[in-house]
């Protein structure tokens, strides 16, 4: 209820109450109602390549999932953090299109426009065509790519995932620095070696350090590549009719519970605002009504007393002895 309408309503109520008081000595009241809101969110998945699977198997993951037949991609997409954390973003997307060739061309054009590339492609034709693409997108363009999919084809499912590898990344950088220091010291010792046995021992240790340097440098490069370029697995299907995804009983029940709770909160808020806005008017009404009601009661009591005093007493009935 708007403030202007509330003031007018309260003024009318006050006038009506005062009018009623002048005739009967009684009062009146008023009431109000509420509205509702709605919200939605969504989500994601990713993969781990063979060369770094063991190294990042214990990392923290964050994900959300979404199924939709309307092709609407939620705005709450996972994006690159702005606090310097090292995060790998990835997604798995299912698309369907009636105009298959146009949708595929638009998808490939979108990838190229955003500075990405297709690292793998698999085409199938079982009466209806299908293509599976492994797409690498610059992570800074991840949200734009995911958000633009609904304009290309009908989005049937979208899974996104973020992998926080900050701790592993820092440990890898520290170990690389330590290995480089060891390599420099071994090279210095090699120059100072006085016997063949010392030289062979140093060379053996140096070979081990260099192998570890190569491994961890490769791991860091893999991290950097995955952080800077997100991996999106895209499946595009040719269809005659779009898939309609019905919500489950649990999803419908949760929506009802959520909406009911939001409606109740809205009602309490509106009721509180109404009471605060109506307080001056209610105070004025009370100041007028309470004395009026008390005076009316006092007047009725006096009238009843006078009526009782004006009625002559009824003589007692004669007793049996008198008759």
Pick the residue with more confidence: 161 or 47? 161
On whether both 199 and 103 belong to a single domain, the answer is no
Residue 182 lies in a domain: yes
Range in 14-28, 132-146, 205-219, 296-310 with the lowest mean pLDDT = 14-28
Q: How far apart are CA 107 and CA 15, in angstroms?
A: 67
Identify which of 36-40, 56-60, 164-168, 240-244 has the greatest average pLDDT: 164-168
Instruction: Supply the DSSP symbol for 44.
Output: B
Laid out side by side, the sheet with 117-125 consists of: 60-67, 154-164, 87-97, 229-238, 129-138, 117-125
Burial of 75 (0-12, 13-18, 19+ CB in 10 A): exposed
* Boundary-marking domain end, from 183, 208, 223: 223
- Split at pLDDT 50, 70, 90, the class of 129 is very high
On whether both 238 and 184 belong to a single domain, the answer is no
Residue 112 lies in a domain: yes
Over pLDDT 70: what percentage of the chain?
69
Task: Quickly tell me which residue has 């299908």 as its tokens.
Answer: 130
On whether both 100 and 128 belong to a single domain, the answer is yes
Q: How far apart are CA 142 and CA 293, in angstroms?
A: 72
Over pLDDT 90: what percentage of the chain?
44
Query: How many structural domains comprise the chain?
Result: 2
Pick the residue with more confidence: 297 or 199? 199
Task: Quickly tell me which residue has 């961890």 as its tokens.
Answer: 216
Instruction: Supply the DSSP symbol for 141.
Output: G
- Split at pLDDT 50, 70, 90, the class of 37 is very low
Percent of residues in the chain assigned helix, strand, coil, to nearest 5:
55, 20, 25
Range in 77-81, 197-201, 290-294 with the lowest mean pLDDT = 77-81
Alpha helices in 80-232 (DSSP H): 100-113, 142-148, 166-192, 196-228
| Per-residue confidence (pLDDT) for residue 46, from 0 to 100 | 32
Say if residue 190's pLDDT is above 80: yes
On whether both 92 and 174 belong to a single domain, the answer is no
On whether both 156 and 93 belong to a single domain, the answer is yes
Alpha helices in the chain (DSSP H): 3-24, 100-113, 142-148, 166-192, 196-228, 249-310
The residue range of the domain holding 157 is: 50-164+227-249
pTM of the model: 0.53
Identify which of 44-53, 129-138, 294-303 has the greatest average pLDDT: 129-138
* Of 6, 38, 4, nearest in space to 275 by CA: 6
Say if residue 217's pLDDT is above 60: yes
């Amino acid at each position: 209820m708007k403030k202007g309408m509330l003031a007018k309503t309260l003024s009318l109520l006050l006038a009506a109450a005062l009018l009623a008081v002048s005739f009967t000595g009684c009062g009146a009241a008023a009431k109000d109602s509420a509205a509702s809101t709605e919200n939605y969110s969504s989500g994601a998945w990713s993969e781990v390549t063979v060369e770094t699977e063991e190294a990042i198997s214990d990392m923290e993951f964050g994900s959300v999932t979404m199924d939709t037949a309307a092709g609407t991609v939620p705005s709450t997409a996972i994006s690159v953090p702005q606090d310097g954390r090292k995060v790998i973003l990835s997604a798995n997307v299912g698309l369907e299109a009636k105009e298959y060739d146009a949708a595929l061309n638009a998808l490939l054009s979108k990838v190229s426009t955003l500075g990405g590339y297709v690292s793998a492609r698999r085409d199938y034709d079982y009466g209806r065509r299908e293509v599976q693409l492994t797409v690498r997108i610059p992570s800074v363009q991840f949200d734009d790519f995911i958000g633009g999919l609904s304009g290309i084809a009908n989005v049937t499912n979208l899974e996104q995932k973020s992998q926080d590898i900050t701790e592993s990344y820092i440990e890898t950088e520290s170990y690389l620095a330590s290995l480089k220091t060891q390599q420099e010291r071994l090279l210095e010792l090699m120059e100072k070696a006085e016997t063949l046995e010392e030289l062979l021992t140093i060379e053996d240790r140096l070979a081990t350090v260099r192998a570890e340097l190569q491994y961890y440098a490769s791991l860091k490069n893999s991290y950097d590549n995955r952080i800077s370029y997100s991996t999106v697995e895209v499946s595009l299907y040719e269809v005659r009719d779009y898939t309609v995804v019905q919500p489950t009983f649990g999803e419908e029940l949760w929506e009802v519970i959520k909406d009911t709770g939001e409606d109740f909160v809205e009602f309490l808020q509106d009721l509180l605002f109404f009471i605060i806005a109506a307080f001056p008017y209610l105070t004025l009404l009370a100041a007028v009504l309470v004395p009026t009601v008390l005076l009316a009661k006092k007047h009725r009591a006096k009238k009843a007393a006078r009526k009782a005093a004006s009625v002559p007493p009824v003589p007692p009935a004669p007793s049996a002895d008198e008759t």
